[in-house]
Amino acid sequence: MKYSLAIIFVYLLLFKASAQVPDSTFGEFNSWPVGTFFGNTVILSEVGDDVCQGAIHTPGGKIILGGYTVKNDSLDFLMARLLPNGRYDTAIGPMGRKTIDIGYANDSCTLIANYDESRFLMGGCTYLPGQKDYVGLLTRLDFDGVPDSTFGNGGHLILDLPSKEEMITEAISLPDGKILVAGNAFYGGQLWYESDSTHHFVVRLLPNGRIDSTFANNGILYHTPQDYGGCLAPMIADVALAPDGGIVIAGISYDPYPGELNWEHGYCLENGMFVFKHSPDGEADLSFGEEGAVVLPSIEGVPYSMEIRADGKIVISGGVTFGFLNWPTNVFIARLLPNGEVDSSFLGGDYFIKNIIGGTESIKPTSTIQIGEMTYVTWDDEHSGLTFGLMRMDEAGQLDSNFVQNEFVGAQGNGVLFSSYEWLPFIHGIVQAYAIDSTGVYFVGRVGSNGGPFNRNMFIAKVKLLPQVPVSTVAVPWQPLSFSAYPNPVKNGVLHLFPETGSVSGPLSMRLADLQGRLVWQQQVTDLQGASTIDVSGLKSGMYILDVSGQAGRWVEKIVISE
């Protein structure tokens, strides 16, 4: 029992040593407008607003942020290209920034998506000359931001449906070069929306940008939760492809829209969360849920994102409340089987519903990311968006309460959450979080500058996911080692390490690393007799991890170096 406790203790120390940290090797150092911070890049606008809507990685590793810029009451698409390490790619423009003028007065970008190895998509809506209602807009560009002349009308297309107004919010490139675009079609007036006032829509385009008439009803799939008992005013939340090629839509229905009546319920007692599935050709998949639809719990809720795994399981993340408040206050996560049934291996077939405090208020999940056997849930603050971060749960849906055990736990000291609270100044919301491998998570969003409260700028940050070191990887049984490290904090540049047994036999590895996991000092010794002296005079002030290991066992300790 004594040795078992020692093993558990060593494991917890290792967990601390491998906590998640900002990636200090990423970003444009000193680009933050109000101070010096690492692990991020801010693209500052000289005038006006730059509104970030997402990011992509190119096959060559470069990063492109997409959105729109507002200047003199005019809107244009905007991109910012960064090198793989997050530094500005100035070959495209100052700070990697480039404005894309599609040719209309007000082009509002809502999405950026990959297309192929040399091109990408940006979309949203615009106003045509002489018209008061907006229409859908999609453009295809190369990685230099030049429109592809083989697509649509000189590189872009206008999607003008029979509805009053249309906005494209999602775009997915298909293996054959076709494109799925999805969004919301609006009918009715500006304050009160009449019955059958809105629909989700999905359109399939040919590679040249023309509508593919073989899809759904002459190329267009209209969809509404009203057919399944939903409210009159639906909004699309996310669209993704299932492994079988099926089209899965997550959405919410309101009545009236959010903002009308200050979030009061109006004619519809409960905002509903829905998941729909259609075949690759746009027909309802009747094997999914009830006649192609799944209605999530009868509670006030809104889905924010959807992840479809390689095994076909569907993870929905969103926020819910229970009627006493007019906005979501609890994190909601559901995992469905490919046929729409609730996955019984996740919380015993239940839903994850929990109020969690992030920086200063309740959090909302922005995405889920599966890495190995763990699911990472990214988040930002529900209303203010001032802080962001991530938490982790296992396949059974249990939160890892030891996920973070250092200064990045946030304002509430919550070991469940990695938080930007002590890392970056207040931001203004995360619009996307994603991973391209198991080494880190990227957060994309908006930050205000010292130019004023309405001056927004694009930013991207990266959190490094350090690998865990399980006890099972050690070739021999670990025994309890005990050392004294003094003085701690170190103030004179010299740290003394003394084995409490007086000596330790056998080869030992002594390593000192910073909180970003970078090795700053190491030494190999055959036997340790008495005190060992470590010169740390060349290291910056801060916290470090001292790790002593060998066949005799392992010992880990936090070391503080101060001036």
What would the DSSP string read from start to end of 438-491? TTEEEEEEEEEETTEEEEEEEEEEEEE-PPP--GGG-SS---B--EEEESSSB-
Q: Is residue 486 assigned to a domain?
A: yes
Alpha carbons 15 and 399: distance in angstroms, whole number: 15
Residues 121, 113: Cα–Cα separation, whole Å: 5
340: left (phi over 0), alpha (psi -120 to 50) or beta: left
Among 246, 270, 255, 245, which Cα is nearest to 224's?
255
Q: Which helix (H) or strand (E) holds 78?
A: strand 74-82
Q: Of 269, 273, 228, 277, nearest to 253 (Cα)?
A: 273
- Dihedral sign (CA 153, 166, 68, 112): negative
Let me know: does 509 contact 550? Beta carbons within 8 Å.
yes
Whether residue 515 lies inside any domain: the answer is yes
Q: What is the largest CA-CA distance in the chain?
A: 87
Contact 315, 368 (CB under 8 A): yes
Question: CA–CA separation, 321 vs 273, rounded Å?
Answer: 12
DSSP β-bridge partners for residue 548: 510, 555
CA distance 554 to 342: 44
CATH assignment of the domain containing 528: 2.60.40.3080
Three-class SS of residue 327? coil
Q: How many domains does the chain have?
A: 1
- Report yes or no on 512 lying in a domain: yes
User: Which positions ≥6 away from 482 have C-beta within 8 Å?
Assistant: 499, 500, 501, 555
Residue 481 is assigned to a structural domain of this protein: yes
Cis amide bond preceding 243, omega within 30: no
Contacts of 27 (CB under 8 A, 6+ apart): 38, 39, 40, 41, 85, 86, 87, 460, 461, 462
pLDDT tens, the chain, 563 aa long: 333 333 333 333 333 334 577 888 899 988 876 666 789 999 988 777 899 999 999 999 999 999 999 988 789 999 999 999 999 999 999 999 999 999 998 999 999 999 999 999 999 999 999 888 899 999 999 999 999 999 999 999 999 988 888 999 999 999 999 999 999 888 654 444 444 457 789 999 999 999 999 999 999 998 777 666 666 667 788 999 999 999 999 988 765 444 443 444 444 555 678 899 999 999 999 999 999 999 887 667 788 999 999 999 999 999 887 655 556 788 999 999 999 999 999 999 999 998 888 766 788 899 999 998 899 999 988 777 788 999 999 999 999 877 875 556 555 556 678 888 778 877 888 999 999 999 999 999 998 754 444 478 999 999 988 765 443 333 334 445 788 888 988 988 899 888 877 788 777 778 887 765 667 787 877 777 787 888 888 888 887 888 787 766 777 788 888 86
Closest by CA to 304, choosing from 322, 292, 291, 317, is 317
Identify the domain containing residue 492 by its residue range. 477-561
Of 60, 53, 25, 51, the closest CA to residue 40 belongs to 25
C-alpha distances (whole Å) from 402 to each of 399, 407, 409, 472 are: 9, 13, 10, 19
Residues belonging to the chain: 563
Residues 6+ apart with CB under 8 A from 344: none
3-state secondary structure (DSSP) of residue 220: strand
Kind plus residue range of the DSSP H or E element containing 12: helix 2-17
Q: Convert the pLDDT of each residue in 289-317 to its tens digit.
A: 999 999 887 667 788 999 999 999 999 99
- The SS3 of residue 95 is helix
* Cα–Cα distance for residue pair 237/241, rounded to 1 Å: 14
Residue 507 lies in a domain: yes
Identify the residue whose tokens are 């999905």: 202
Report the pLDDT value the prediction gives residue 128, as an integer from 0 to 100. Answer: 93
Q: Do the domain assignments include residue 537?
A: yes
The answer to whether the beta carbons of residues 531 and 500 sit under 8 Å apart is no
Q: Which run of H or of E encompasses 14?
A: helix 2-17
Query: Is residue 534 a part of any domain in this protein?
Result: yes
Question: What are the CB-based long-range contacts (under 8 Å, 24+) for 427-430?
Answer: 427/380, 427/385, 427/386, 427/387, 427/388, 427/459, 428/385, 428/386, 428/456, 429/380, 429/385, 430/366, 430/378, 430/379, 430/380, 430/385, 430/388
In a domain, 511, yes or no: yes
